Copies of this chain bind each other. A is one copy, B any other.
Amino acid sequence: MKKLINNPNEVVQEMIAGIVAAYPNQIEQVKGTSILMRKGAPTPNKVSIISGGGSGHEPAHAGYIGKGMLDAAVLGEVFTSPPVDQVYEAIKAVYRDPGVLLIIKNYTGDVLNFEMAAELAEAEGFHIAKVIVDDDVSVEGSTNTTGRRGIAGTIFVHKIAGAKAELEGTLEEVKAIAEKTIHNVRSMGMAISSCTIPAVGSPSFNLAEDEMEIGIGIHGEPGIERKPLAPAKEMTEELVEKILRDMALQQDDEVAVMINGLASTPLMELYIINNEVQKILENKGINVYRTFVGEYMTALEMGGCSITLLKLDEELKTLLDYPSDAPNFLMK
């Protein structure tokens, strides 16, 4: 295992210290926890939004804490759901009367722990709403998942729900727009190289030197197929076709595009993939309103990418464009 770390069992705590040190005016740690929150949260009269999950997907989710996005992120150990008590502590830390929305990626452990924390909080009279993101069209259930997995499309849910909350939407309104975003977003990924959980020390899976895996999950969960590495054009066509088969997109519809690097794949290659995606959409008469290319939801040092399409209407466009000062999703 070749990593720039100290103790493999302390990577999350040391990372948390490094995040707070990087953004001391924006992000603070809830003392004694693995919760990061927007400095000064909760904001009066605003629904608070919490997301989180296992670590190893940075900048997800701590990098999306800020005005216009998340109020708190709960950080589990690497590829491990955060425990119930941490989610519950996060709710208490950022709670204000309009209530709290939990944005949960669809993994069995995450769903269970976030839901149990919500029940605990509701028993105390807190208003809690929750949505589950399952944007990954590759497989209908996988290791650690009942139903589709939640992957990079989650960031669009953070962004749009966060904007609605900033505009003082009610808990019901913020939940409704998050659900609309989930309804409209689809993603799919692929990998060319594996990753190693620090505390494990050996690769989570292996791919041959000429092999790629289509539809792989962000923890290395099996996808659809392993096959010889194809040129970017063919690979992109396969991912986009699968996404479009699952979306009701018509000519002249507008979408946001996210080309997400899993970590080891350089920006150069993500731009080459973006070029292919845009050509496919242009040929189908689908208009691209806005494009995001970069690392948004990674998988430790895995090589590969995911492609996300979000179908937009005027309401979603306005909220997508709303300012954010989250360190990893700055928008003016």
- Judge whether B232 and A6 touch: CB under 8 Å: yes
Which stretch of A118-126, A168-176, A294-302 is in the interface?
Answer: A294-302
Closest chain B CB from A214 CB (angstroms)? 12
Q: Closest B-chain residue to A20, C-beta based?
A: B275
**A22 CB-CB contact with B under 8 Å:** yes
Interface class of chain A by DSSP: mixed
Chain A stretch 12-56: residues in CB contact (< 8 A) with chain B: 14-15, 17-19, 21-23, 55-56
- Judge whether A229 and B2 touch: CB under 8 Å: yes
Closest chain B CB from A53 CB (angstroms)? 14
**A253 CB-CB contact with B under 8 Å:** no
* Interchain CB contact (< 8 A) of A269 among B3, B210, B229: B3
Q: How large is the interface on A (under 10, 10 to 19, 20 to 34, 35 or more residues)?
A: 35 or more
Residues of B close to A192: CB separation below 8 A: 2, 4
Per-residue B-contact encoding for A277-304, CB less than 8 Å = 1, 0 else: 0100000000010011111001011011
Query: Considering the chains assembled together, what is the distance between the CA atoms of A15 and B3 in angstroms?
Result: 29
Which stretch of A109-117, A131-139, A242-250, A259-267 is in the interface?
Answer: A259-267
Copies in the complex: 2
**A224 CB-CB contact with B under 8 Å:** no
* Interchain CB contact (< 8 A) of A325 among B22, B267, B323, B332: B332
Q: Closest B-chain residue to A2, C-beta based?
A: B192
Query: 5 closest pairs, A vs B, by CB?
Result: A18-B271, A18-B275, A58-B267, A18-B274, A264-B264
What are some 23 contacts across the A-B interface (CB < 8 A)?
Answer: A2-B192, A2-B193, A4-B192, A6-B233, A14-B272, A14-B275, A18-B274, A21-B274, A21-B275, A21-B288, A22-B291, A56-B268, A58-B266, A58-B271, A59-B267, A263-B264, A263-B266, A263-B267, A265-B301, A266-B298, A325-B332, A330-B331, A332-B332
Chain A positions within 8 Å of B, measured between CB atoms, are 2-7, 11, 14-15, 17-19, 21-23, 55-56, 58-59, 63, 192-193, 209-210, 229, 231-233, 235, 259, 263-275, 278, 288, 291-295, 298, 300-301, 303-305, 323, 325, 328, 330-332
